[in-house]
Amino acid sequence: MRFGMFVLLSAALAMAQDFAFQVASPVASQDFHFKAAAFVFRTTGCSSAEAPKISATAEGIISNQRQSVPLKVVEGSKPGVYAVFQSWPRDGQWLVDLTGTCGPATAGALIPVERNGFNRNSAKFFSHRPTNNEIEGSLTELAQKGNK
């Protein structure tokens, strides 16, 4: 009997998905209100009864000066879908630092935003809040890329 319970519990845990972010263009949300967003994202793996808690900050460099701009995360009409609208300056190099919690689980992401929009291929995803070193490293990469 115990072995059978162990197998069922193990199977359930194996099927459980870690809490994470998936980033996409605003069109992917199929939400008219998000068409002008910088990008949209969805949360996955949040089985908590309460909604995830999400924060976002634009981190940037303008004229060799570091700046941080708190952002508003807008919830969509579909559960687990959110948008980030650009409220940071157009000049400089920028990325969006996303952090979310779902119960005890944490997800993080650093999403580079260039003049033509967000860069999904250069996005970095974490199972923790992005550290200052990770943010600084990503900003340095962006600045080097922008100067080429």
* C-alpha to C-alpha distance for 89 and 3, rounded to whole angstroms: 59
Query: Can you give the CATH number for the domain in which 39 is found?
Result: 2.60.40
Residue 10 lies in a domain: no
- Domain that residue 69 falls in: 18-146
Mean pLDDT of 30-37: 91
69 occurs within a structural domain: yes
When divided into structural domains, the chain yields a total of: 1
Asked whether residue 63 is assigned to any structural domain, the reply reads yes
Q: How far apart are CA 81 and CA 27, in angstroms?
A: 12
Condensed to tens digits (0 to 9), the pLDDT of residues 79-138 reads: 889 999 999 999 999 999 999 999 999 999 999 998 888 998 999 999 999 999 999 999
CA dihedral sign of residues 24, 27, 30, 32? positive
For residue 118, is it within any domain? yes
Two tokens at 16?
Answer: 């459980």
Q: Is position 3 within any domain?
A: no
Contact call for residues 46 and 80 (beta carbons, < 8 A)? yes
Instruction: Extract the runs of DSSP E, i.e. beta strands, from the chain.
Output: 20-24, 39-44, 53-62, 65-71, 73-75, 81-84, 93-102, 105-114, 117-118, 124-126
Nearest partner of 96 among 84, 80, 81, judged by Cα: 84
Tell me whether residue 141 is in a domain: yes
Q: Is residue 9 part of a domain?
A: no
d(CA 75, CA 78): 8
In a domain? residue 114? yes
Q: List the single range of 25-29, 70-74, 121-125 with lowest mean pLDDT.
A: 25-29
Read off the pLDDT band of 148 (50, 70, 90).
low
pLDDT of the residue at 47: 82
